[in-house]
């Protein structure tokens, strides 16, 4: 029987009530008395020197209160980067300044040049057109290979546009080369991991307000991690101490990574609110979001897989060009390095791995983490090259994977790329996926498709990811400029209701429900007795927010730790009230009992006693029942699984139709199966969107050719069938108290290679061995034509 409450139950989401009745409160829903509207004048060219910037005429226009340029922000710092990568020679990455408003040069289409504050948005937009801006255009740096020539420099002080040249595992470089040279078979593949735009449905917005009488700043912003924004913006940009700066991330309409980062616009509105003495509101249009939200992926990779005569993987070598865009976004440098190189072992016991990543500045929008972040790029190249190897060697792709899987009895397993997997069973999820996908019936389905002139393909991919980010000491050693623990305060109120204050931030993940399930389960109370508070630095303890599939594994663990402390203290109080030894007190189902007796106290009695300490061990114990914990994980968590995709290709048009998609995941223990499945569905749609539809394309001048939904193909309901998902293969995480692994990114990590492998399977009879994503009709048709020619 499925549980109907607590851990393991598909509790309905409490947050849905407000969202379904139009009562959610997103940043743009907030209006402050006397607020001004902010509009940014953005560069319409990718690269150039600002020759003239005259705002006088614009400033005199109706409704305009102020116009600011870089000159006005001279005392303000640049947007900081939160991660420093050290290159192959031991030198720090190049970290050019990222000004709030462009200084001297513009470096991408959308780079903000001036900010206009007016009584209405239209007035601000009108004034923007009256600003005299002349830009002397410079050659745009767009193509990464060409960028390395250094003929045109995005940043004058970064030669070759090279942010860093990183090698990992450096000690293995020669051994890998030797193994490849001597291997029985080497499969080589060049591929592109296409650039994506995160596109949460809520565009970014920010409202700054300043209370002069109290010298207090407030920023409402669309953020996945308000404390991180407060820290970065307060300490590095605006020099506002924490106690004078409140950051609120209210209901946030999706993030997928793009709302992790500290953005120039939120620093500007915070600064401007004080400068002009009125609240300042900015809301991005979708068109603006395409030019200012950090984008994702954009790797060009060459991968080589070496196998011995028995088809064991013996070595793997990769070279990647990773696009940073024009400036370093908050976590950009760690994506192609530590979140990518460390995953190249995948689910396999490849003993020798070496990768070289060159991070390149270009005149494009900055690139940073997007759902999966580095791990989809690692998984895609690995699962594609394995499939290609199987095809070249005439092997069953499932068998080749099985042969090389890390076996279930080998855990904990130390990979050659730094991370140690704690647990897993990759064969189990592969078996499950193949069974769910009716692999045995594929031949008949293929024949049926062929009878209709269609090509049917069957593709699979295994994946593993390191998430539940992250052990602070480890990431600190790798260049992180922050710790990656999470904090939680559990406050038991006098009548026994419970308020939980978490540093995690929910923007679709359902924390308000899931976290309450955990607490209710531990305390034996109704979920309705537990309230989850998040998203306001004035209310929640310093925490790192939500990304990297970390909320339950890290944030949930912090809550568990605090509840454990609460129970321990409550037992002491109960022992005093029951006049028993503390060691004899047992707590279960909300009742404190004395072992071996009928003596019992309810949860409410103990809570009340904590706050009305008339009969209380006051010498030994403080009144009150409130505990805070900071949980720093011992390791990442390693969810893994196997995905199967079945497609039908129309060879006449090149159109790919997904016929079936199966996901078998091992997420360890699951708190709310309904929510976990929803997370997988969403990840799959984003992964399949990457593989089939989505592409951020820059032309040679650095203009984004897919700068709206007219050209950037967002997945729609009719693009996919319903998905078959399963999470019954469970190897619990060994190092966090709930035994849980992350589930938010898995779908986006495992699905692109499964789809591409399926399409290549369908087209193999035409001799097509690779197509770069997205597999649009035109690309598929062209690949067929090229193979025919």
- Sole window of 433-441, 448-456, 555-563, 647-655 interacting with another protein (rule: CB under 8 A): 647-655
Site string for another protein, 8-47 (x = CB under 8 A): ----xx-xxxxxxxxxxxx-xx-x----------------
Residues 294-353 that bind another protein (CB under 8 A): none
Q: How far is the CB of 524 from another protein (least distance, A)?
A: 26
Site string for another protein, 117-146 (x = CB under 8 A): -----x--xx--x-----------------
- Sole window of 425-433, 474-482, 631-639, 718-726 interacting with another protein (rule: CB under 8 A): 718-726
Q: Which is nearer to another protein, 427 or 747 (CB)?
A: 747
Q: Which is nearer to another protein, 125 or 497 (CB)?
A: 125
Q: Among 302, 641, 687, 665, which residue's Cα sits nearest to residue 461?
A: 641
User: How many whole angstroms from its chain centre is CA 134?
Assistant: 38
Distance CA 509, CA 668 (A): 18
Q: Which is nearer to another protein, 121 or 189 (CB)?
A: 121
Residues that bind another protein (rule: CB under 8 A) add up to a total of 77
**In Å, how far are 232, 256, 269, 335, 372 from 684, measured between CA atoms?**
32, 13, 36, 20, 11
Extract the tokens encoding 141.
């740096």
Q: Among 104, 115, 167, which residue's Cα sits nearest to residue 138?
A: 104
Site string for another protein, 483-502 (x = CB under 8 A): --------------------
Extract the tokens encoding 593.
């009992």
- Sole window of 306-314, 424-432, 692-700, 754-762 interacting with another protein (rule: CB under 8 A): 692-700
Q: Does 674 bind another protein (CB under 8 A)?
A: yes
Are residues 392 and 351 in contact, defined by beta-carbon separation less than 8 angstroms?
A: no
Q: Which is nearer to another protein, 199 or 404 (CB)?
A: 199
Distance CA 78, CA 264 (A): 8
Q: Exposed, middle or buried, 770 (CB in 10 Å: 0-12/13-18/19+)?
A: middle
DSSP symbol at 260: T
**Does 774 sit behind a cis peptide bond, omega within 30 degrees of 0 on the bond before it?**
yes
Figure out which of the listed residues 670, 675, 729, 754 binds another protein, where binding follows CB under 8 A: 675
Residues 451-480 that bind another protein (CB under 8 A): none
Figure out which of the listed residues 213, 309, 440, 717 binds another protein, where binding follows CB under 8 A: 717
Figure out which of the listed residues 43, 55, 172, 199 binds another protein, where binding follows CB under 8 A: 199
Figure out which of the listed residues 617, 678, 703, 770 binds another protein, where binding follows CB under 8 A: 678
Q: Which is nearer to another protein, 201 or 451 (CB)?
A: 201
Distance CA 227, CA 224 (A): 9
Distance CA 609, CA 600 (A): 14
Extract the tokens encoding 283.
């809301």
Would you say the C-alpha torsion 556, 371, 379, 692 has a positive or negative sign?
A: positive
Distance CA 555, CA 30 (A): 28
Q: Does 711 bind another protein (CB under 8 A)?
A: yes
Q: Does 705 bind another protein (CB under 8 A)?
A: yes
Q: Does 712 bind another protein (CB under 8 A)?
A: yes
Q: How far is the CB of 146 from another protein (least distance, A)?
A: 20
Q: Does 71 bind another protein (CB under 8 A)?
A: no
Q: How far is the CB of 249 from another protein (least distance, A)?
A: 12
Distance CA 169, CA 255 (A): 32
Figure out which of the listed residues 63, 160, 781, 787 binds another protein, where binding follows CB under 8 A: 781
Inter-axis angle of helices 746-763 and 375-393, nearest 10: 30
Figure out which of the listed residues 95, 165, 209, 251 binds another protein, where binding follows CB under 8 A: 251
The SS3 of residue 660 is strand
Q: Per-residue DSSP letters for 494-541? A: TTS-EEEEES---SSS-HHHHHHHHHHHHHTS-GGGEEEE-SBTTTS-
Q: Which is nearer to another protein, 7 or 198 (CB)?
A: 198
Q: Which is nearer to another protein, 424 or 654 (CB)?
A: 654
The SS3 of residue 780 is helix
Q: Which is nearer to another protein, 18 or 615 (CB)?
A: 18
Q: Does 652 bind another protein (CB under 8 A)?
A: yes
Q: How far is the CB of 372 from another protein (least distance, A)?
A: 14
Looking at the DSSP assignment, which residues form a beta bridge with residue 488?
502, 629
Q: Which is nearer to another protein, 476 or 651 (CB)?
A: 651
Are residues 338 and 318 in contact, defined by beta-carbon separation less than 8 angstroms?
A: no
Figure out which of the listed residues 508, 543, 737, 742 binds another protein, where binding follows CB under 8 A: 508
Figure out which of the listed residues 132, 623, 778, 786 binds another protein, where binding follows CB under 8 A: 778
Q: Among 503, 475, 431, which residue's Cα sits nearest to residue 337?
A: 475
Figure out which of the listed residues 313, 421, 485, 720 binds another protein, where binding follows CB under 8 A: 720
- Sole window of 246-254, 323-331, 478-486, 606-614 interacting with another protein (rule: CB under 8 A): 246-254
Q: Which is nearer to another protein, 56 or 697 (CB)?
A: 697
Extract the tokens encoding 221.
């912003």
Figure out which of the listed residues 67, 240, 498, 693 binds another protein, where binding follows CB under 8 A: 693
Own/partner pairs, 60-63, CB within 8 angstroms, 24+ separation: 61/118, 61/123, 61/126, 61/127, 61/130, 62/123, 62/126, 63/118, 63/119, 63/120, 63/123, 63/124, 63/127
Q: Which is nearer to another protein, 165 or 251 (CB)?
A: 251
Site string for another protein, 274-293 (x = CB under 8 A): -----------xxx------
Q: Does 684 bind another protein (CB under 8 A)?
A: yes
Q: Does 509 bind another protein (CB under 8 A)?
A: yes
């Amino acid at each position: 029987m499925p549980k109907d409450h607590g851990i393991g139950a598909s509790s309905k989401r409490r947050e849905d009530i407000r969202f379904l009745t139009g009562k959610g409160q997103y940043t743009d829903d907030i209006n402050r008395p006397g607020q001004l509207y902010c509009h940014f004048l953005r560069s319409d060219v990718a690269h150039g020197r600002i020759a003239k910037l005259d705002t006088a005429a614009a400033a005199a226009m109706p409704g305009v209160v102020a116009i600011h340029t870089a000159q006005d922000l001279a005392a303000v710092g640049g947007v900081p980067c939160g991660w420093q990568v050290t290159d192959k020679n031991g030198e720090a990455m190049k970290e050019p300044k990222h000004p709030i408003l462009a200084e001297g040069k513009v470096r991408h289409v959308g780079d903000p040049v001036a900010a206009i504050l007016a009584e209405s948005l239209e007035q601000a937009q009108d004034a923007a057109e009256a600003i005299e801006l002349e830009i002397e255009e410079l050659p745009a740096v767009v193509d990464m290979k060409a960028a390395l020539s250094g003929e045109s420099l995005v940043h004058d002080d970064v030669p070759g546009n090279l942010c860093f040249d990183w090698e990992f595992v450096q000690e293995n470089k020669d051994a890998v080369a030797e193994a490849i040279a001597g291997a029985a078979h080497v499969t080589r593949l060049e591929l592109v991991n296409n650039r994506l735009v995160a596109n949460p449905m809520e565009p970014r917005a920010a409202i700054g307000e300043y209370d002069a009488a109290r010298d207090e700043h407030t920023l409402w912003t669309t953020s996945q991690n308000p404390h991180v924004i407060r820290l970065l913006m307060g300490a590095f940009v605006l020099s506002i101490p924490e106690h004078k700066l409140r950051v609120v991330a209210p209901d946030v309409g999706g993030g997928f990574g793009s709302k992790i980062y500290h953005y120039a616009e939120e620093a500007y509105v915070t600064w401007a609110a004080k400068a002009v003495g009125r609240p300042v509101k900015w809301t991005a249009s979708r068109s603006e979001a395409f030019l200012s939200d950090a984008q994702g992926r954009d790797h060009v990779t060459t991968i080589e897989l070496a196998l011995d005569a028995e088809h064991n993987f013996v070595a793997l070598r990769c070279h990647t060009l990773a696009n940073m865009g024009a400036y370093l976004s908050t976590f950009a440098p760690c994506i192609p390095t530590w979140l990518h190189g460390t995953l190249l072992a995948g689910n396999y016991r490849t003993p020798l791995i070496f990768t070289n990543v060159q991070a390149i500045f270009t005149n494009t929008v900055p690139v940073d983490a997007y759902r999966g972040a580095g791990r989809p790029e690692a998984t895609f190249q690995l699962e594609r090259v394995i499939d290609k190897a199987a095809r070249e060697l005439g092997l069953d792709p499932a068998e080749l994977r099985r042969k090389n899987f890390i076996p279930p009895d080998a855990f904990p397993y130390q990979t050659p790329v730094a991370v140690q997997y704690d647990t897993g069973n990759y064969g189990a999820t592969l078996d499950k996926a193949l069974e769910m996908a009716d692999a045995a019936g594929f031949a008949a389905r293929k024949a049926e498709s062929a009878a209709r002139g269609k090509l049917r393909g069957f593709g699979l991919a295994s994946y593993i990811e390191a998430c539940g980010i992250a052990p602070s000491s480890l990431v600190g050693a790798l260049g992180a400029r922050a710790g990656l623990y999470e904090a939680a305060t559990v406050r038991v109120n006098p009548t026994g209701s419970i308020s939980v204050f978490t540093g995690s931030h929910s923007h679709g993940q359902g924390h308000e429900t899931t976290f309450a399930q955990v607490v209710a389960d531990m305390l034996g109370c109704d979920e309705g007795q537990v309230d989850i508070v998040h998203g306001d630095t004035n209310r929640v303890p310093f925490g790192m927010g939500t990304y990297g599939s970390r909320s339950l594994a890290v944030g949930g663990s912090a809550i568990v730790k605090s509840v454990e402390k609460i129970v321990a203290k409550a037992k002491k109080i109960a022992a005093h009230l029951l006049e028993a030894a503390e060691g004899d007190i047992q707590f279960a189902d909300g009742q404190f009992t004395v072992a071996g007796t009928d003596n019992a106290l309810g949860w409410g009695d103990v809570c009340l006693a904590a706050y009305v300490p008339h009969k209380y061990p006051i010498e030994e114990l403080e009144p009150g029942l409130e505990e805070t914990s900071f949980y720093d994980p011992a390791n990442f968590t390693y969810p893994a699984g196997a995905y199967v995709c079945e497609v039908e290709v129309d060879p006449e048009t090149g159109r790919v139709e997904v016929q079936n998609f199966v996901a078998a995941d091992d997420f360890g223990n699951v708190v709310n199966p309904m929510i976990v499945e929803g997370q997988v569905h969403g990840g799959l749609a984003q992964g399949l969107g990457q593989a089939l539809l989505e592409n951020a394309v820059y032309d040679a001048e650095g203009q984004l050719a897919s700068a709206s939904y007219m050209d950037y193909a967002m997945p729609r309901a009719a693009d996919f069938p319903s998905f078959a998902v399963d999470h019954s293969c469970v190897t619990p995480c060994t190092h966090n108290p709930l035994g849980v692994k992350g589930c938010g990114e898995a779908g986006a990590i495992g699905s692109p290679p499964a789809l591409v492998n399926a399409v290549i399977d369908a087209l193999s009879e035409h001799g097509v061995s690779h197509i770069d994503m997205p597999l649009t009709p035109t690309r598929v048709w062209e690949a067929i034509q090229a193979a025919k020619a």
